[in-house]
Amino acid sequence: MGQMSKVPFTGKVFPADISVDDDTVLVPANTVSNLEKVEERGGVVKRVGSVVTPHFDESRTREDFRVVKRHILSRIDNAPADKSKDPRTILITSASPREGKTTVTLGLAMSFIFERDYSVILIDADMRSPELSRRMGLSGELGLLDFLENEEIGIEDIVYPTSVKGVYAVPAGLPRITAPELITSERMTQLLKTFHDGSQKRIVIIDSGSVLACSETISLAGYAGQIMFVAAKGQTRRKDIDEGLGILHRQAGPIDESRVAMVFNKTDHSRSPVRYSRNS
Amino acid sequence: MVGTVLSLLYDEMVRIWCYRWTAIITAIVLFVAGAAYIVRMPDSYDAWAQIYVPRQTSLSAAAANVSLGAEYGSTYVVQKTLLNDQNLGKVAEQLNPALSRLTPADRQAAILGLRNKITIRPDDGDGFTEFHYTASNPAKAYNVVRLLLAQFVSGTQDRAERDFSQADVFLDSQIAIYQRKLNESQQKLIAFHQRYGDTTAVTTDTAEEADAASEVENARAAYTAALARDGVGTPAQAQIAALEDRIAALRLQYTDQYPDVIAARQQLAQLQQRSAQGSKGGDSSAVAVARGQLAAAQARLRRARFRPTLPPQIAAQEADLRRTDDMLRNAYQELLARREAAKMSLAVYGANNSSKFQVTNQPTIPAAPSGPNRLLLLGLAVLVAIAGGIGAAYLRGAITGVFVAPRELEEAFQLPVIGTISWEQTWHTGEVVQGSRHVAVFVTFGVILLVATVLVSVSTSPWLQAIFHQYSTTLFQGFVK
């Protein structure tokens, strides 16, 4: 705890950030600052992540993501107050690689453009293949793993602005062999808590590796209040999903309708009718 | 309901589409294998013979209206009489002299093999029948058909001769039998008539009876007139005459012992007695003559009315005898007519049956192969390959268990599917290139396989080689010109 309080935060990470309780937050209140500060690090302007999803203008695809977003928001609104896991932390995962997790993450982020009340923080937590970082043009930049390992690095150092207003990105950082252990560290909990602190509504979307391939994903699922399980049409095998859900269930809390939802990806077109919050 | 079924069907199609590569590769492999097999199939040669067997024969003419089973020249009869074990055994032995030294089981197998490969094609319209035999060796095909035809010719001649003699013997024996029966019947009839009289001579002539009756009337009128003229026409005389009439009438129906007859006779006797006492002078001669005539007329009427009656059993016996006699006579006459017909048809067809059947096509050694129809088989192979590919893709989809509809996902895991995301190829910058590369790879792969198939086929099949040779020659000549 004490060790954590030594973390040198150079300024407010987010603008309009307000009261942060010292007892609950390990980061000193005066170090959590505004979002203007994330634009530069030590006087040097940071790279700007590009949130580009080709053909997002296609109204159909946009509509598809709006439906998913609406579900996520209604779950946040309807979440019980005593919920141990914050529903604003959303983990995007799948059973196997290449099922479209990063695409769903980016699309979801784009769908928040017009949500004036919410800002979105995308975290690339796929340590094996940091696809999100690559696609946003933030490969090789300081990122999550660097922050978790090096206490010298502050939150504002790893949060990058993007081409879209209200969307911020946290790249994966340099790959490390200790990644699974770092993910389970207190500093990770602290990071997520910091993001959710303050009056501004923020949604944290974690793009993780596939359940069957990356052990970090299981640890990350422990933080997430909502888990989006992506399954690709004509690609994902039943037994892989079974196995993946089984692992999550055993190691990251109960898998039930209120916490886990599936997203059917790579359809030629949306054949199923739009459905709004069947549960939550 | 229909919508659900269509939706499920669509899902299955999508599932198959997910494994289109499996389908394509399986189809290509199947087709190449099938094509190689078809191209390497040996040529087959079809040797055939045609015979003409007229349906009408002397036996069938002789036995008109008598059922003798299937028609003589029908394909069915040919098949049954020709393709029996004895005939085929002979053919098989002639083809392969070593066959007689084999075990009965092997011999049977050889005969069965021969029978399965012989086809007899019927011709519905007339008595034409074709034998076909197909083999990869044209000389063997020719030999089998030649030997079969020889079997048929000898077998049919034997049979025809037997049939002719049978027809003759059959008719002669029947005629003899009927002749004897007819004689017996005649004898019986004669014996019957000798015993019971010639009942045929006794006739009941109603005309004669009416004639006699009118004569009685006339005689009575003459008698009454004579009595009146004689002046002794007393009431007594008239009464006597009336009584006599009555007695005569009664006697026609009753015997002398009948009470009415007895009473009438007594009354007549009294009247005659009284009349005799009253007129001692007696009758005049005219009256006596008239009375004699009346009595004679009455006697004649009585005779005319007489009917000789036989007892009913004897009458029935007679009718029976007559019926049998008539029937036998008719049958006998019909048999005689048939024998004439048979003799005539013998004269028409000839005694040695030379026109009994004709071989309308002698077998020859087939020069050109008749099969297999490789183009058709290749077409079928394409269809089978496509079906096999689709089947393989379906199987793989069913075994792997991929999801093609959000409904399936929801049912499988009981978790909400909160959205379906359309997938555009362009979402990933690399995907577009990758997609077109897939198509290019597929096309190249397919073309290479097809070329390989053609090359393998040409190098292994004399059939295709011949065609290519022909074409290349034509091309070459074109260039020279």
ipTM over 0.90: no
DSSP characters over B253-294 = HS-TTSHHHHHHHHHHHHHHHHHHHH-TT---HHHHHHHHHH
CB contact under 8 A, A229 and B17: no
Q: Which residues contact B201 (CB under 8 A, 6 or more apart)?
A: none
Q: Give the B window 389-418 contacts with A, CB below 8 Å.
A: 400-407, 409-410, 412-418
Per-residue pLDDT for A26 more than 80? Answer: no
Q: Give the B window 12-41 contacts with A, CB below 8 Å.
A: 14-15, 17-18
Per-residue pLDDT for A253 more than 70? Answer: yes
**H/E segment holding residue B360:** strand B358-361
CB contact under 8 A, B402 and A260: no
**Tens digit of each residue's pLDDT (9 = 90 or more) over B352-368:** 544 466 778 888 888 88
Q: How many CB pairs under 8 A join A and B?
A: 127
Residue A220 in any domain: the answer is: yes
**H/E segment holding residue B368:** none
User: Residues B78, B152: contact at Cβ < 8 Å?
Assistant: yes
Residue type, B318: E
Per-residue pLDDT for B24 more than 70? Answer: yes
**Nearest CB to A60: which of B400, B419, B422?**
B422
Number of domains in chain B: 1
Per-residue pLDDT for A269 more than 70? Answer: no
* Nearest CA distance, B387 vs chain A (angstrom): 21
Residue A4 in any domain: the answer is: no
Question: Which residues of chain B have a CB within 8 Å of the CB of A246?
Answer: none
**Nearest CB to A237: which of B400, B406, B423?**
B400
Number of domains in chain A: 1
* Nearest CA distance, A129 vs chain B (angstrom): 15
User: Residues A38, A13: contact at Cβ < 8 Å?
Assistant: yes
- The answer to whether residue B479 neighbours chain A at the CB level (below 8 Å) is no
CB contact under 8 A, B421 and A278: no
Domain of residue B469 covers 15-41+372-480
Most B CBs within 10 A among A59, A71, A267, hence the mutation to make, goes to: A267
Lowest-confidence region among A164-173, A202-211, B288-297 = B288-297
**Nearest CB to A64: which of B401, B402, B420?**
B420
Residue A77 in any domain: the answer is: yes
Residue B20 in any domain: the answer is: yes
Per-residue pLDDT for A95 more than 90? Answer: yes
Distance (Å, whole) CA B376 – CA B352: 49
Chain A residue at shortest CA distance from B18: A234
How large is the average pLDDT for residues B229-236?
64
Per-residue pLDDT for A207 more than 70? Answer: yes
Per-residue pLDDT for B326 more than 80? Answer: yes
Residue A186 in any domain: the answer is: yes
Q: What is the CATH number of the domain that holds A90?
A: 3.40.50.300
Q: Give the A window 26-65 contacts with B, CB below 8 Å.
A: 53-55, 58, 60-61, 64-65
Per-residue pLDDT for A254 more than 90? Answer: no
User: Residues B389, B22: contact at Cβ < 8 Å?
Assistant: yes
CA distances from A61 to A105, B110, B426 (A): 13, 73, 12
Per-residue pLDDT for A84 more than 80? Answer: no
**Nearest CB to B409: which of A231, A235, A268?**
A231
CB contact under 8 A, B403 and A107: no
Residue B100 in any domain: the answer is: no
Residue B402 in any domain: the answer is: yes
Distance (Å, whole) CA B152 – CA B361: 14
Percent of chain B clearing pLDDT 70 (strictly above): 75
SS3 track for A197-238? CCCCEEEEEEEECCCCCCCHHHHHHCCCCEEEEEEECCCCEH
Question: Which residues of chain B have a CB within 8 Å of the CB of A238?
Answer: 400-403, 412
Domain of residue A124 covers 49-265
Highest mean pLDDT among A112-126, A261-275, B414-428: A112-126
CB contact under 8 A, B421 and A269: no
Percent of chain B clearing pLDDT 90 (strictly above): 4
Q: In sequence order, what are the beta bridge partners of A62?
A: none
Confidence at residue B72, expressed as pLDDT on a 0 to 100 scale: 54
Q: Give the A window 239-268 contacts with B, CB below 8 Å.
A: 239, 241-242, 245, 255, 257, 260-268
Question: Which residues of chain A have a CB within 8 Å of the CB of B406?
Answer: 262, 264, 267, 271-272
* Nearest CA distance, A241 vs chain B (angstrom): 9
CB contact under 8 A, B409 and A270: no
**Nearest CB to A104: which of B421, B424, B428?**
B421
**Tens digit of each residue's pLDDT (9 = 90 or more) over B442-459:** 787 777 777 777 766 666
* Nearest CA distance, B19 vs chain A (angstrom): 8
